[in-house]
Amino acid sequence: MNNIQILQSNHLNIYLHTPRRHSLNKQHCSFIFCQINKHILSSSFSSSKLIPKAAMTSSSSVMRKLQVVSPVPSDIDIANSVQPIHISEIAKNLNLTPNHYDLYGKYKAKVLLSVLDELEESKDGYYVVVGGITPTPLGEGKSTTTVGLCQALGAFLDKKVVTCVRQPSQGPTFGIKGGAAGGGYSQVIPMDEFNLHLTGDIHAITAANNLLAAAIDTRIFHESTQSDKALFNRLCPPNKEGKRSFSDVMFRRLKKLGISKTNPDDLTPEEVNKFARLDINPDSITWRRVMDINDRFLRKISVGQGPDEKGMVRETGFDISVASEIMAVLALTTSLADMRERLGKMVIGNSRSGDPVTADDLGVGGALTVLMKDAIHPTLMQTLEGTPVLVHAGPFANIAHGNSSIVADKIALKLVGPGGFVVTEAGFGADIGTEKFMNIKCRYSGLKPQCAIIVATIRALKMHGGGPAVVAGKPLDHAYLTENVGLVEAGCVNLERHILNSKAYGVNVIVAINKFSTDTEAELNAVRKAALDAGAYDAVICSHHAHGGRGAVDLGIAVQKACENVTQPLKFLYPLDLGIKEKIEAIAKSYGASGVEFSEQAEKQIEMYSKQGFSGLPICMAKTQYSFSDNAASKGAPTGFILPIRDVRASIGAGFIYPLVGTMSTMPGLPTRPCFYDIDLDTTTGKVIGLS
């Protein structure tokens, strides 16, 4: 067989193994054979090598062909069955040299931000965001679809592609949800490293967050036991020559206070008082300690009970690490300098006179940046089929904004270049993840997506149509395992609202129907018809969980067409100059609410943040992911409900106001039977087993 025949055979193999090949239309066939001709015309063949390295596309030279089996094995078994490619080869395919990254073992590397500077003049590729319908507690395969689509684009459609996903928290990994590396034959590997420590970013966030928490209580303690003079003398101690000086971070507080003096000895007693005494109101403190484990017993605690704290007991609590504002800062920052500014501007509470107190007021902004200096670099990994992945940041979707980092997306868009694709995932349903992606992340990044994908499953649509409750850890009801087109059609109201909301941003919307083995053709066709009737650009049935990238080729073709045919500019749901209440009401309206009810505490906080000059920030709703409303049991597309706002908090450094909707908790708890029951180590091979 000659070289041309081999290329033709390879692409014919794609055609023969493409899902629903019996329904491939003329466009699909034309696309496939155009790819054959492109390789024939562009390659320089030699007798010694079938496909010279120089002739390969950047995506194809390290692609791995999967040997899929049925039934699909467990995620960890699939991940352990594949030998990852050395990460230097993945980097090389992106035209990255060793100067552009730091290795973290064989299969992970930190891509340095200097890449952005070098590629500043390069044009971006296409930008695709993946959201979903309102999920069941089991998840609908959004991460799996994100990975499967990228495998299809890179390994089968010869496109430059980078997957951008969040780093998962250990809370869900050991709790009830499991990991977030994708699933089946569409995963990020090494799966165990992805779901556990990775390169330590979440640990860095935990350390930085808790350093700030310690600084708050320590400052209150010392201010309560010292005079202004003693406090000032300790903050600005004389050196060996008897001269005092301000540290660099102190000049930030001096500037905030309007004091232009640079010599500590020149401050008046009044200025000494203003500078040295933060006078933090303990009741106003919003900064809590964090840990990356689900632990319900830390939701409310008291600190200061030791004998040396002199009775300074204060009630506080823990959040999960990925709910920390520092995580949100990491995800929304655009550079190291920007991250330093954002960390310093984080507000931890107010003084007794009502002024916001920041991390820089406490003198800790620089130290936080030092702890985060390595975490700002995205981590390069790979999919099962060898396509590149950038893993970075992991803010909780229902508590924070639920998107991976701006810097990872920007680096990826430059690396793939014109005609390439960056696919990024937005957490939970489109009412949470995609809404925050558009109105928060895109505002700060300046990037515009061309296509928004909504992942749907028959299982979730049946639930929204009135099916029995879906409970993690319990077998699915018979209704989810047998055909019921009526139940599916009734549940499509949820899908339709997500389509309408996503289209309003000016992007083309594609519905990816994640096919399970129990789904019937009639049910799948019902979803496709409902999606198209609701205005979706296309609706595609996918089998990437069972077949890898081969099962998402149709989706890849649809995404390419959607990106090439965008006609509208990016539109936001609300302008930033609206008041805090008005912006909250605009988002609530997109949920289907007829109004918003603000608690007395929420009213008080809104008034304070407006007075402090923070009303121009975007809104990040902290809401249940299981319903458009605040009631997780309210399925489908509820309307006419009143959305209750229990409290309103601010992440000033990250750059958003976040209302707490209903009883939303910032520290999840463990179920009766957590995932950790199944997780262990094979002490013979050293491989992790039981991760899901």
Q: Which residue has the tokens 């129990």?
A: 518
Phi, psi (degrees; rounded to nearest 5) at 643: -90, 115
**pLDDT in the model for residue 176:** 67
Give the residue among 688, 618, 680 at the shortest CA–CA distance from 652: 618
Contact between 512 and 145 (Cβ < 8 Å): yes
Instruction: Read off the amino acid at residue 217.
Output: D
Phi, psi (degrees; rounded to nearest 5) at 282: -55, -30
Cα separation, 230 vs 419, in Å, equals 64
What SS3 class is residue 651? strand
Contact between 344 and 360 (Cβ < 8 Å): yes
Instruction: Read off the amino acid at residue 358.
Output: T
Tokens of 400: 């924070």
What SS3 class is residue 212? helix
> Rg for the chain (alpha carbons), in Å?
26
Tokens of 175: 């709790």
Cα separation, 66 vs 554, in Å, equals 18
**pLDDT in the model for residue 178:** 64
Give the residue among 20, 9, 8, 2 at the shortest CA–CA distance from 555: 20
Q: How many CB atoms lie within 10 A of CB 2?
A: 10
The 3-state secondary structure of 236-255 reads CCCCCCCCCCCCHHHHHHHH
Tokens of 53: 């390295």
Report H helices in 333-482. 336-345, 365-372, 406-416, 433-436, 442-445, 458-464
**pLDDT in the model for residue 90:** 97
Cα separation, 227 vs 235, in Å, equals 12
Distance in Å from the first CA to the final CA of the chain = 43
Instruction: Read off the amino acid at residue 205.
Output: I
Cα separation, 426 vs 129, in Å, equals 7
Q: Using CA of residue 548, residue 549, residue 554, residue 560, what is the dihedral sign?
A: positive
Cα separation, 495 vs 457, in Å, equals 10
What SS3 class is residue 560? helix
Phi, psi (degrees; rounded to nearest 5) at 581: -60, -45
Give how far Cα 260 sits from Cα of 62, 107, 263, 274, 655, Å.
59, 51, 9, 13, 28
- Strand residues in 210-355 grouped as ranges (E): 289-291, 301-303, 314-316, 318-320, 347-350
What SS3 class is residue 395? coil
What SS3 class is residue 576? coil
Tokens of 118: 């070098």
**pLDDT in the model for residue 61:** 58
Output the CA angle 155-427-158, nearest 5 degrees: 10
Q: In terms of DSSP bridges, do strands 379-383 and 388-391 run parallel, antiparallel, or are they unpaired?
A: antiparallel
Longest alpha-carbon distance in the chain:
90
Give the residue among 394, 432, 518 at the shortest CA–CA distance from 133: 432
Residue 45 Cα to chain centre, angstroms: 43
Tokens of 37: 């001709």
Mean pLDDT by 10 residues, the chain (692 residues): 37 40 42 40 30 36 82 91 95 96 97 96 97 94 96 97 92 67 92 89 96 96 94 93 94 96 96 97 94 86 86 88 94 97 97 96 97 98 97 86 95 98 94 96 97 98 96 88 97 98 98 96 98 98 97 98 96 97 98 97 96 96 94 96 95 95 79 72 80 73
Phi, psi (degrees; rounded to nearest 5) at 325: -60, -25
